[in-house]
Amino acid sequence: MSTANFIVIQDGTSTIQDNSLSHPDHVELPQFGATDANLALRPVLTFKAIPAGDVTLTITLNGSDVLTKTFSSGSERMLSEVVNENILQANVNEVIVSATGSAQISLSDLVLWYRK
């Protein structure tokens, strides 16, 4: 039986918006390692999203798209996404969050859950 662990990727809030002078269209989150992860098993990414209208959010992990989601309302919500196996790396992982569309979106509390 495997046990779970997690990494807090971001505890604060990032706001992104396509074609905006006041917000970037993407954000590169701090790199992190997962040295005790079983890389053959599928991790789960969880986060809070607060869209301000019509916007498409894309999250990539190590260059692989793990989530593309279109929002059409400003309701705050918690989301989770099961990531394919072997995308998570033991030593260096990079998450990039980007937005397209006419509205901004704020993200917070990004946590990656994985099994040892």
The total domain count for the chain is 1
The closest of 38, 48, 45, 47 to 115, measured between CA atoms, is: 38
- Domain range for residue 97? 4-115
The single-letter code of the amino acid at 113 is W
Report pLDDT digits (tens) over 49-61.
Answer: 999 999 999 999 9
Report pLDDT digits (tens) over 60-115.
Answer: 999 999 999 999 887 899 999 999 999 999 999 999 999 998 889 999 999 999 99
Query: Tell me, what CATH number does 18's domain have?
Result: 2.60.120.260
- HSE-up of residue 82 (Cα within 13 Å, Cβ side): 4
